[in-house]
Amino acid sequence: MTLMNKTAAELQALLHNREVSVKEVTEDSFKQIKAVDDKVKAFLTLTEEDAIARAEKLDNEPFENRGSLFGLPIGIKDNIITKGTKTTCASKMLEDFVPVYDATVVEKVNQAGLISVGKLNMDEFAMGSTTERSAFQTTHNPWGLDRVPGGSSGGSAAAVAAGEVLFSLGTDTGGSVRQPAAFCGIVGMKPTYGRVSRYGLVAFASSLDQIGPLTRTVEDNALLLGAIAGIDHRDSSSSPNQVPDFKAGLTGDIKGLRIGVPKEYMGEGVSPEVKASVEAALTVLESLGATRDEVSLPHSHYASPTYYAIATAEASSNLARFDGIRYGYHPKGAKNLEEIYLRARAEGFGTEVKKRILYGTYALSADHHEDLYVKAMKVRTLIARDFNSVFENYDVIVGPTSATTAYEIGGVVRDPLTLYTNDILTVSVNFAGIPAISIPCGFSDEGLPIGLQIIGKHFDEATLYRVAHAFEQATEFHKRTPSIGEGQA
């Protein structure tokens, strides 16, 4: 059995008792990667030599200087800048890009004593929901290798589920941490917008993007968010709000908690087995002392078109810098400036990225700006007000993370109702800038994980962790691992 299936606390106990060294823990991570990643394909880049050298150095650190995450392996999504290590955004546009600085979150995980073992696959520039749109490889779901892991943080989720690393960082623009966490049966947190610095994150849609942790357990997730959260003066959207001790709030006590269950989250489009698992989870929460009522988020129905107007508009602006001259792929043999521009984008970007840039440029054009972008921003405000209204009377909102379990690779979901429902469930949270967490709450008849989403008020991640931990301790879903994650390649 791989050490990566243990919790941070269990590994810290082994390290403290000198039963294992930091180097042995790091080597165990690479051993599992080499055993399973040719099937899972979660990693784009491995940094084994640097990681082992860092582990040997950390082994000399006195125990009194070590924190709760010290010496543990982590994987980083490939749209987060890492000094001296390729950051490709899973795109040919940045295939050879080696940054000269670290993102703030990378600096923070290094300061916490974590050891980065490599960069994780994703949909190109975080545009997609299956990790099939990487320019380099398709990541497979460890629970069923013929299934997608979700996206765009599919590599980050699959690596944790397969026992390759204990922790990973992903990014969530419209559900890209929560949906892969649900599909892979792990814990994924999308923090409040501004809770975690975006300095060093390659932007997709700047007003929606947020970096978030993916882990096997709620406690590990709380520890990692505590390490990467906090104000950063290099990011003007970073919040000065104090970062609480998330672990200290994991008491298991949720008596008197008021839960709102949106009727829009449990209607048509949600599969019967997902709905049954969420209903069963709500019953567990009630047995722990919570109360629940049906509520309404009436503007959720506009989430999908609003998302595509705002996200693509921001993407078209952010990706304009990749012109083959200042940034990105430079076409060989181009004869003039116009040819450089045309070929850099034609050859550097994939189909999905091109489509979104074109749609975003259309939405921002003089003839359509008012009808598309401005109207979408107004609807965004209405969606955020819906959440604020519910939170006047309830502590959290609970529902499914995804309408279905993981799709088959290459099997396009043609049911528009399912696609529409999936957008309602996740992207609305990003419009409001509020936190949400996905935790395992069941399994389908095919043995595929089902995710429960818990949504909270601005900067109230502590309550989400408290509820998620209480549910986790009352159930056994988090203890199940895919066979490939048990060291069985």
Query: What amino acid positions are annotated as catalytic residues?
Result: 77, 152, 176
User: C-alpha distances in angstroms, 298 versus 173, 279, 386?
Assistant: 22, 21, 7
Residue 274 · residue 400 · CB < 8 Å: yes
SS3 171: strand
> Which residue is associated with the tokens 């989430």?
303
Rounded to 10°, the helix 375-390/303-318 angle is 120
Q: Are strands 258-262 and 396-400 parallel, antiparallel or unpaired?
A: parallel
Contact partners, residue 269, CB within 8 Å, separation at least 6: 403, 415, 417, 418, 420, 421, 422
Sheet with 449-455, side-by-side order of all strands: 43-46, 115-120, 73-77, 167-171, 211-215, 187-190, 436-443, 449-455, 396-400, 258-262, 291-295
Work out the number of other CB atoms within 10 angstroms of the CB of residue 55.
21
DSSP bridge pairs for 258: 291
Nearest to 210 by CA among 247, 243, 235: 235
DSSP state letter for 344: H
Both tokens assigned to 2: 């791989």
Buried b (16+ CB within 10 A) or exposed e, 196-222: bbbbbbbbbbebbbbbbbbbbbbbbbb
